[in-house]
Amino acid sequence: MRTRAPAAGWGPTRRTISRVDALLRRAYGTPEARPTGDLLGGLVGTILSQHTSAANSRRAYANLRRRFPQWEAVARASEAAIAEAIAVGGLARIKSKWIRQLAANLSGAPGRTWLGDLERMPVEEAMAQLRALPGVGLKTAACVLLFDLGKPIFPVDTHVHRIARRMGWAPPEASAEATFAVLDPLVPPGIKHSLHVNLVRHGREVCLARRPRCAICPLEGSCAKVGVGTII
């Protein structure tokens, strides 16, 4: 899971990160961390969330489970039938291939045992195992480990990536993978969940891609506003 970080000099201090987490908790509350334990469901749900809205990904997941209540049924289904079920989430043909492969590999007893073993693995080893699966990239693996297993890892999605660059926590040209390499070691384990969840909410409601609402931003005093006025 090694990802090259930007050159030295980038990255906030842990004190700054903790202060931002406190400001976001004051604005949005403290999100409850409740690991689901449903790793296959988490993998599929995160794949469905790629390149679409949260509302559409939830609808796609609900449609899939309504049509195929058991993961074994997903494994037996055709890619076309899966694509039809998840069409509302976009990129259905690509996602249906990944979802069918995951269900075929992991819905049986050996797959469930393999998934169960992830809970006992160190974070880096679990990440490497997950990223070897079809359609599972860095963000998907990190989200599954955080939300479904409760492991201390800090996923960088599109909202976290945008806000981190605007705040000067990573270079404007940094990829999401490079931003993860900067932030994951710096964010204290005890706030990885709350900071991620609240940054995502902040990105959806205030720090918008095109027209950030800086006038009402609880982080206004801590933000370098890098790239505000352009889409980064």
Task: Write out the catalytic residue numbers.
Answer: 139
Long-range pairs, 126-134, Cβ under 8 A, ≥24:
126/151, 127/1, 127/153, 128/1, 130/43, 131/1, 133/43, 133/101, 133/102, 133/105, 133/106, 134/97, 134/98, 134/101, 134/102, 134/105
CB count within 10 Å of CB 200 equals 18
Strands (E), 114-224: none
SS3 of the chain: helix, strand, coil, percent, to 5 = 60, 0, 40
